[in-house]
Chain A
Amino acid sequence: GAVVSQHPSRVICKSGTSVKIECRSLDFQATTMFWYRQFPKQSLMLMATSNEGSKATYEQGVEKDKFLINHASLTLSTLTVTSAHPEDSSFYICSATEGGSYNSPLHFGNGTRLTVT
């Protein structure tokens, strides 16, 4: 089955530093990837849609200068949390579809637990 690898699984950083999270589709091409944020015992909040070769589409209320997304290839999208602060501490998850169709099942990475101290 389609596999999405997300790295790192956990990261602890100091306030003011930047953190990069990678999301790779291992055995399929993903023209579109999605980035979510999840707070404890809550649902996933879609942050942005990452499109290969073009600018990401951010959801309302998500700062694009804060959460930089790069989708430089058909198998890799990165999310960089810039100048991280404790309130950015959260669980970040990426997902992708094989054909880029919104009607296809989503394949998720295992998430990244970010803790900003």
Chain B
Amino acid sequence: SQQGEEDPQALSIQEGENATMNCSYKTSINNLQWYRQNSGRGLVHLILIRSNEREKHSGRLRVTLDTSKKSSSLLITASRAADTASYFCKIQGAQKLVFGQGTRLTINP
């Protein structure tokens, strides 16, 4: 399978807590991208991490990549209600563009 698989499928935390979601894949990749989708909207690109990178930051987001374990994690620190959304990873190794099932994150006020 060329798609990434996110874990957990659903996550519910209190505002202010950190949220961690994971993505596992099976093929070799050039890069891995994380996207957010608010309900009823398109996806928004959050961050891209290349296969030769191990960690990347963008604001409250921290992404790690372990190519030996074929996994990536997305950490959202100090979560806010506006972070409530579905999060998808997309692996990029071949031309096939496939998204996993996503993690539905709910931030409770």
Asked if chains A and B come from one complex, the reply is: yes
Which residues of B approach A to under 8 Å, CB–CB? 30-31, 33, 35, 40-45, 48, 88, 90, 92, 94-102, 104
Question: Are B40 and A106 interface neighbours, CB within 8 A?
Answer: no
Minimum distance in angstroms from B2 CB to a CB of chain A = 11
Residue from the list A102, A106, A111 in contact with B95, Cβ < 8 A = A102
Question: Are B97 and A105 interface neighbours, CB within 8 A?
Answer: no
Q: What are 23 A-B interface contacts by the 8 Å CB criterion?
A: A4-B42, A34-B97, A41-B104, A42-B101, A44-B43, A44-B88, A46-B97, A49-B97, A91-B40, A93-B43, A102-B92, A102-B94, A102-B97, A103-B31, A103-B92, A105-B45, A106-B43, A108-B43, A109-B42, A110-B41, A110-B42, A111-B41, A113-B40
Please name the residue on chain B nearest to A46 by beta carbon: B97
Q: What DSSP secondary structure best describes chain A's contact surface?
A: strand
Question: Are B40 and A108 interface neighbours, CB within 8 A?
Answer: no
Minimum distance in angstroms from B88 CB to a CB of chain A = 7
Q: List chain B residues, Cβ under 8 A from A106.
A: 33, 35, 43, 45, 90, 97
Please name the residue on chain A nearest to B30 by beta carbon: A103
Q: Chain A, 87-112, contact with B by CB distance < 8 Å: what is the 0/1 string? A: 00001010100000011011111110
Minimum distance in angstroms from A24 CB to a CB of chain B = 13
Can you name 18 extra interface pairs (CB under 8 A) apart from A102-B97, A108-B35, A110-B42? A4-B42, A34-B97, A43-B100, A43-B101, A46-B96, A46-B98, A95-B43, A102-B95, A103-B30, A103-B92, A105-B45, A106-B90, A106-B97, A107-B45, A108-B43, A108-B44, A111-B40, A111-B41
Please name the residue on chain B nearest to A57 by beta carbon: B95
Cα separation A95 to B42 with both chains bound (whole Å): 9
Cα separation A91 to B43 with both chains bound (whole Å): 12
